């Protein structure tokens, strides 16, 4: 872990930028022997992708590449240094400010946890201000997240779940179950006023949460690993039902409770 932090600092020292933030598993103290280094670089003005490549190369990265959408406000450069993979995200200052504003409105939530747990490798004070803002998770945002997460749990006959329990529907079944598991996690994080996290290391990420269904991570694994289609769907549906029972009454939540209870009865 210390070796990765030291390497990240050496790379940061060779890059331009007012704010360079270490994110990902290394910043949270959860890295292992296959972890990469993820960094956010904020510059006063946007930088073209070819310039980001040049800066990364000057910082000692090799085997450079990029990923994701091109031509937008975010530039992405990947590479290797000392046998360790690195991912560098580049933002201009205006885009960084807009992203923080969007997070508080319920947009760009995928960036929230990275910033909330980021570690400054170089700072002009931006990260501290961002983390102060992210220290508050508004109640209205939590309610909106829960309502949106429960949107697909109802509105059609619960017997429709049986159509993906048929032989030959493994892809459709797994697609639905993964989406349902992701929605369960969104609800749990919102109930605990925790910014959404990635689906990696779910057990560790949810262990300290006060409000959650019993054996949350274990039940997700059990449902996805279950070979019997009906039982797999039943395990996931029961987890969904236990989750919405923890949520406050809102239109989608109330509908979901009734629909999931009916679905669980049918599958059983």
Tell me which residue range forms the domain holding 84.
2-134
The reply to whether 31 and 104 lie within a common domain is: yes
pLDDT for residue 268: 94
pLDDT for residue 35: 86
Instruction: Please give the Cα distance from 244 to 255 (Å, whole number).
Output: 10
Q: Which of 80, 103, 134 is the last residue of a domain?
A: 134
The reply to whether 38 and 89 lie within a common domain is: yes
The reply to whether 107 and 181 lie within a common domain is: no
The reply to whether 96 and 143 lie within a common domain is: no
The reply to whether 24 and 110 lie within a common domain is: yes
Instruction: Please give the Cα distance from 154 to 252 (Å, whole number).
Output: 8
Average pLDDT over residues 40-45: 97
Instruction: Please give the Cα distance from 49 to 55 (Å, whole number).
Output: 10
Q: Which of 89, 112, 134 is the last residue of a domain?
A: 134
131 closest CA partner among 207, 11, 40: 40
pLDDT for residue 10: 97
Q: Which of 72, 103, 134 is the last residue of a domain?
A: 134
Q: In which band, very low, low, confident or very high, does the pLDDT at 32 lie, cut at 50, 70 and 90? A: confident
Strand ranges (DSSP E) for the chain?
A: 19-23, 37-43, 62-65, 75-81, 84-92, 119-122
Q: Is the pLDDT of residue 2 over 90?
A: no
Share of the chain above pLDDT 70, in %: 99
Cβ contact 190:250 at 8 Å: no
The reply to whether 184 and 245 lie within a common domain is: yes
For position 70, which CATH number holds?
3.30.460.10
The reply to whether 78 and 16 lie within a common domain is: yes
The reply to whether 143 and 128 lie within a common domain is: no
Which pLDDT tens digit goes with each residue over 120-140? 999 999 999 999 999 999 999
Q: Is the pLDDT of residue 1 over 70?
A: no
Cβ contact 212:246 at 8 Å: yes
Number of domains in the chain: 2
Averaged pLDDT of the chain: 95
The reply to whether 179 and 125 lie within a common domain is: no
Q: Which residues pair with 86 in a beta bridge?
A: 37, 79
The reply to whether 27 and 54 lie within a common domain is: yes
The reply to whether 115 and 42 lie within a common domain is: yes
Instruction: Please give the Cα distance from 53 to 15 (Å, whole number).
Output: 11
Instruction: Please give the Cα distance from 252 to 131 (Å, whole number).
Output: 31
The reply to whether 113 and 200 lie within a common domain is: no
Query: Dihedral through CA 191, CA 197, CA 201, CA 203, nearest 10?
Result: 0
243 φ, ψ to 5°? -70, -50
């Amino acid at each position: 872990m210390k070796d990765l932090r030291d390497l990240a600092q050496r790379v940061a020292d060779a890059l331009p930028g007012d704010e360079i933030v270490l994110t990902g598993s290394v910043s949270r103290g959860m890295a292992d022997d296959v972890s990469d280094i993820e960094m956010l670089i904020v510059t006063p003005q946007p930088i073209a992708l070819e310039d980001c490549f040049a800066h990364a190369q000057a910082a000692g990265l090799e085997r450079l590449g990029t990923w994701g959408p091109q031509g937008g406000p975010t530039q992405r450069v990947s590479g290797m240094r000392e046998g360790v993979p690195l991912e560098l995200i580049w933002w201009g200052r205006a885009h960084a400010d807009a992203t923080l504003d969007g997070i508080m409105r319920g947009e760009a939530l995928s960036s929230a946890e990275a910033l909330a747990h980021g570690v400054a490798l170089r700072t002009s004070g931006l990260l501290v201000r961002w983390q102060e803002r992210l220290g508050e998770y508004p109640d209205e945002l939590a309610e909106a997240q829960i309502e949106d997460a429960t949107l697909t749990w109802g509105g059609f006959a619960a017997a429709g779940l049986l159509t993906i329990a048929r032989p030959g529907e493994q892809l459709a079944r797994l697609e639905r179950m993964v989406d349902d598991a992701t929605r369960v996690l969104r609800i749990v994080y919102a109930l605990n006023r925790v910014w959404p996290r990635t689906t990696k290391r779910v057990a560790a990420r949810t262990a300290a949460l006060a409000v959650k269904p019993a054996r949350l991570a274990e039940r997700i694994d059990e449902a996805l690993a279950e070979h019997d289609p009906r039982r797999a769907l039943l395990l996931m549906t029961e987890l969904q039902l236990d989750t919405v029972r923890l949520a406050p009454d809102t239109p989608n939540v109330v509908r979901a409770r009734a629909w999931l209870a009916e679905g669980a009865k049918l599958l059983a």
